[in-house]
Amino acid sequence: AQTVTQSQPEMSVQEAETVTLSCTYDTSESDYYLFWYKQPPSRQMILVIRQEAYKQQNATENRFSVNFQKAAKSFSLKISDSQLGDAAMYFCASDFTGNQFYFGTGTSLTVIP
């Protein structure tokens, strides 16, 4: 079975500080992509960052970076210098089988001014 698990329903961070959102997954596949999506309130889901499972180097996009541990099946998202606009639901996802995207239950991030 393919599963994605986010164990932090809610997180908060002070503006300008750093926060890490956790994600674990389970799959028997060896080649897949992992994603973090952001869903602001009442707005559409957008991609934050993507990681290819066969690449050991962690992906980075400006203030967003991941810690990908393939053996541990862990894929966390680090947001540095948090901004008010980062407040949203964050979903961890993957396309393990190439036929669909599997999503976690999400982490609601609050940024405190």
Partner 1 sequence: DTGVSQDPRHKITKRGQNVTFRCDPISEHNRLYWYRQTLGQGPEFLTYFQNEAQLEKSRLLSDRFSAERPKGSFSTLEIQRTEQGDSAMYLCASSSIRVGNTEAFFGQGTRLTVV
Q: Is there binding between residue 35 and partner 1 (CB under 8 A)?
A: yes
Give Cβ neighbours of residue 99 (< 8 Å, ≥ 6 apart). none
Work out whether 68 is an interface residue with partner 1 (CB under 8 A): no
Q: Is residue 45 within the footprint of partner 1 (CB under 8 A)?
A: yes
Please say which residue, 10 or 81, places its beta carbon nearer to partner 1.
Answer: 10
Binder among 23, 102, 109, 111 for partner 1 (CB under 8 A): 102
51 burial type by CB count under 10 A (0-12 exposed, 13-18 middle, 19+ buried):
buried
What residues line the site for partner 1 (CB under 8 A)?
4, 6, 32-33, 35, 37, 43-47, 50, 91, 93, 95, 98-106
